Chain A
Amino acid sequence: MNPPLIIAGVSFNSRLIVGTGKYVNGEQTRDAVEASGADMVTVAVRRVKLDRTSPSLLDYLDINRLKILPNTAGCYTADEAIRAARLAREVGLSDWVKIEVIGDNATLYPDVQATVEATRLLVKEGFTVLPYTSDDIVFAKRLIDAGAAAVMPLGAPIGTGLGIANETSLRMLRELVTEVPLIVDAGLGTASDAARAMELGFDGVLLNTAIASANDPILMASAMRDAVSAGRQAFLAGRMARRLYATASSPMEGISK
């Protein structure tokens, strides 16, 4: 039995959340989202281009089926993130927001203190807040105190595709955070990385570049869907104990000589 992912009382069949950035066009975005099986997608809030009438991202997303999770990507202060979240809510599709406040340009590491501030204020304003954060247990606890609906630590810097570079920290987080879902957000590169995150017991995975920058994004989206599902099942099944020495798996009895 594989129970659904529940965030803030909302149930999701898929434990994979995908971003919609970096695709070559709307059709590819649509096809990748569909192949991923995701029930929730992230979007960014940006100025409308006035000089040309280009199709909207929302023309390619099934907004009746998908949970839209606007993000505050590109924000460097709590105030900027709060403003972006309020604007996103005014679009009228969602009062959920992925809070992301960047604190360093080389690593795109989050400014966790500003993230906590923005989370606290937006929760008071009625938002459902899913913050992108570091793998720091202290800030994870502060985010939960501030009312975060989930905690989303990075596995490696955004867009690097390095895979889980902080497994020890993530394992501690997994053991110590039980109040809200834990979702590995950022840094994953391929299907085995997503499976690994799920095998560690994380409740979900959020990724974008690993799919969008694959040679065949649609096929990778499908691979990610299967990897998240396989990793989850392996976690639920419980892996065997590791042993240093060999143990035969065929019976030693009845060998014909």
Chain B
Amino acid sequence: MNSPCHEPLMQSVASEAASLMLNLMVNGQLRRLPLLTNDQSLGSILSALAVRKELVAIALNDTIVPRAEWDHTLVSEGDGLEIVHFVGGGCSS
């Protein structure tokens, strides 16, 4: 599940206050999101991050999650999330 590189992150949330937050690595940055009581699905996380869902693709811990599975894929403490979209591009720049 969590790769070894996430372990320091897990330890950093050991305190009482931090337990109300969900710590994720999103596009290489640490993001602390309020822990929702009954929905920790990928879909709800995308909403919390205000991402335009119709234009993105998602990898959770290096595995691509198809759009149809976003709402029933659970996100856990310390998970790594990659959210990509299309930007202007021709060849390598």
Using a CB–CB cutoff of 8 Å, the interface residues on chain A facing chain B are: 18-23, 29, 42-48, 50, 53, 56-58, 68, 70-71, 73-74, 83, 86-93, 100, 102, 108, 132, 158-159, 185-186, 206-209, 212
Contacts and interface: CB of A to CB of B under 8 A. Distances in A.
A175 to B, nearest CB: 26
A20 B51 contact: no
A108 B91 contact: yes
Contacts of A43: 86-89
* Interface magnitude class on chain B: 20 to 34
A157 B82 CA distance: 31
B92 interface: yes
B86 A21 contact: no
Contacts of B90: 18-22, 42, 71, 73, 206-209, 212
A59 B83 CA distance: 18
A70 B86 CA distance: 8
B8 interface: no
Contact of A45 (B58, B84, B91): B84
B55 A91 contact: yes
Nearest to B28: A47
Interface in B1-30: 26-29
A118 B21 CA distance: 40
A92 B56 CA distance: 8
